[in-house]
């Protein structure tokens, strides 16, 4: 498996937690949110700044000294490489928002649907959390989630050697619209016909 593609996949899966939470709020509860995210997998780390607004998101990341940006907006999802002045338009990944688009009202309902069991509570830095465990749909791998009680928002996830942690979570952020736009002048390579899973072979 290509390690760089694995890191990118987990980075996007990490932001999907925020996207799923966003979707769960429903359009009547639209808000803006930002947080810092660390994804650790296979001995490597990606440090990211995540911004979410309505159905859009932006991930600015640094992995192994390489800076990149992933943007999802109404036109699709793009992986931008600023140093190369180019962007790739990626195939849509339904796993990012599929589960909680099914009329869920909050993240706790998502956990309930997965058969999650509360395993206790813990203070995780500034966040007072309840801890839940559940088996991932499909793979069956055991996943443990720390949910910030104040907002029912996941701030830590542990699953099969992979760790995702969120810090500096800020709700109701003022986020400029151009954060979610692909900068003009970039060469765009369209990869929509490619299977995302095949990229990780």
pLDDT for residue 26:
44
Number of domains in the chain: 1
pLDDT for residue 180:
92
Q: What tokens appear for 11 in the block?
A: 């980075």
CATH code assigned at 97 = 2.50.20.10
pLDDT for residue 106:
66
Q: What tokens appear for 199 in the block?
A: 């990229």
Q: Which DSSP letter does residue 138 get?
A: T
| pLDDT one digit per residue (tens) for the chain, 201 residues | 444 444 445 454 554 455 444 444 444 455 688 899 888 887 788 888 988 887 788 889 887 677 889 898 888 889 898 888 899 898 765 545 444 333 334 678 888 888 999 999 999 999 999 999 999 877 788 999 999 999 888 899 998 888 889 999 998 888 999 999 999 999 998 887 665 555 445
Cβ burial, residue 130 (10 Å; 0-12/13-18/19+): middle
Q: How does strand 162-171 pair with strand 44-53?
A: unpaired
pLDDT for residue 36:
92
pLDDT for residue 41:
82
Coil, helix or strand for 15? helix
Cα 17 from Cα 24, distance rounded (Å): 11
Provide the domain limits for residue 90.
3-199
Long-range contacts of 134-143 (CB under 8 A, 24+ apart): 137/99
pLDDT for residue 133:
96
pLDDT for residue 197:
53
Are the C-beta atoms of residues 165 and 41 closer than 8 Å to each other? no
Give, in order, the Cα–Cα distances in Å from 15 to each of 59, 119, 146: 8, 24, 15
Question: What pTM does this model have?
Answer: 0.73
């Amino acid at each position: 498996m290509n390690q760089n593609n694995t890191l990118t996949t987990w980075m996007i899966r990490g932001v999907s937690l925020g996207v799923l939470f966003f979707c769960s709020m429903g359009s009547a509860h639209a808000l803006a949110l930002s947080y810092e995210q660390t994804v650790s997998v296979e001995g490597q780390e990606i440090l990211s700044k995540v911004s979410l607004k309505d159905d859009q998101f932006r991930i600015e990341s640094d992995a192994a000294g390489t800076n990149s940006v992933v943007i999802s907006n109404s036109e699709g999802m793009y992986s931008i490489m600023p140093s190369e002045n180019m962007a790739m338009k990626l195939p849509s990944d339904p796993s990012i928002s599929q589960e909680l688009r099914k009329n869920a009202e909050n993240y706790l309902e998502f956990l309930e649907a997965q058969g999650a069991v509360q395993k206790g509570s813990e203070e995780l830095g500034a966040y007072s959390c309840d801890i839940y465990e559940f088996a991932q749909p499909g793979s069956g791998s055991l996943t443990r989630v720390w949910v910030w009680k104040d907002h029912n928002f996941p701030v830590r996830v542990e699953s099969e050697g992979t760790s995702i942690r969120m810090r500096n979570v800020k709700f109701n952020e003022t986020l400029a619209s151009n954060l979610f736009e692909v900068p003009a002048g970039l060469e765009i390579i369209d990869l929509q016909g490619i299977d995302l899973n095949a990229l990780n072979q």
